[in-house]
């Protein structure tokens, strides 16, 4: 089963992707992770990525699609793929659709995690993550345990993203609505779009996604 998770920064896409990886043995194809892995791989594609990043240039859609093709052709699909951070634009959505068609891979679902912007800003500016395992905490709804240890791995290092402040988040939201939100209409028109309440509790959102995938 191959799926795309859509939603603005902080909607919880990464958290839900990790749960799907753990519970369904799916493989998370994160654009950022793939670029970092490629840069250090020494392959021909990796050398191209390293050169582009060293110059400070933006990585082209063609390069990202090439990296995704490599992953899909490797055949280690597990329970399927989660596309995380890609596509971000209509051109990327077309390119991904063409690639999946070439490889006879289906796109089973596009899940929009719908949020309330003001509530999202409040949630993200209170967010911390465990430096060891990435478990997400929130000052209001899920504070760091009183003993200072991560409830998932026992780690004691916690961090906040430097751009998890109101001004930066509103800038990121604006970029999302300009570039990525058109994908909602795109996939709706194709009959692929499903929507969940991204503002719910983490387990409730996971249950909604699971129901969609089981349906």
Give the integer Cα–Cα distance in Å for 39 and 129.
Answer: 25
Select which of 13, 19, 39, 123 is catalytic.
13
Quick one: tokens of 113? Answer: 């995690």
Contact partners, residue 101, CB within 8 Å, separation at least 6: none
Q: Is 172 a catalytic residue?
A: yes
Which of 18, 24, 71, 88 is flagged as catalytic?
Answer: 88
CB 20 within 8 A of CB 10: no
Does 69 qualify as catalytic in the annotation? no
Q: Which of 18, 71, 142, 172 is catalytic?
A: 172
Q: Active site includes 127? A: yes
Assess contact for 79 and 26: CB atoms under 8 A.
yes
Q: Which of 127, 142, 149, 160 is catalytic?
A: 127
The residues with which 83 forms a beta bridge, in sequence order, are: 4, 29
- Phi and psi, residue 18, nearest 5°: -60, -40
Pick the catalytic residue: 18, 71, 149, 161? 161
Q: Which residues are designated catalytic?
A: 13, 88, 127, 161, 172
């Amino acid at each position: 089963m191959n799926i795309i998770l859509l939603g603005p920064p902080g909607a919880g896409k990464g958290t839900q992707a990790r749960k799907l990886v753990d519970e369904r043995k799916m493989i998370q194809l994160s654009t950022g992770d793939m670029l970092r892995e490629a840069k250090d791989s020494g392959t021909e594609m990796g050398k191209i990525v390293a050169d582009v990043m060293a110059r400070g240039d933006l990585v082209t859609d063609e390069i990202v699609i090439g990296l995704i093709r490599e992953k899909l052709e490797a055949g280690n699909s597990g329970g399927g793929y989660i596309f995380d951070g890609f596509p971000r634009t209509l051109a990327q959505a077309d390119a991904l659709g063409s690639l999946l068609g070439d490889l006879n891979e289906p796109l089973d679902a596009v899940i929009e995690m719908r949020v309330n912007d003001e509530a999202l800003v409040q949630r993200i500016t209170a967010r911390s993550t465990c430096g060891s395992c990435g478990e997400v905490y929130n000052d209001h709804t899920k504070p760091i345990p009183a003993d200072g240890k991560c409830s998932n791995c026992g780690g004691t290092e916690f961090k906040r993203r430097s751009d998890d402040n109101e001004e930066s988040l509103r800038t990121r939201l604006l970029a999302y609505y300009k570039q990525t939100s058109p994908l909602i209409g795109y996939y709706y028109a194709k009959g692929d779009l499903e929507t969940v309440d991204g503002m719910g509790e983490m387990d409730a959102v996971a249950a909604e996604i699971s129901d969609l995938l089981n349906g």
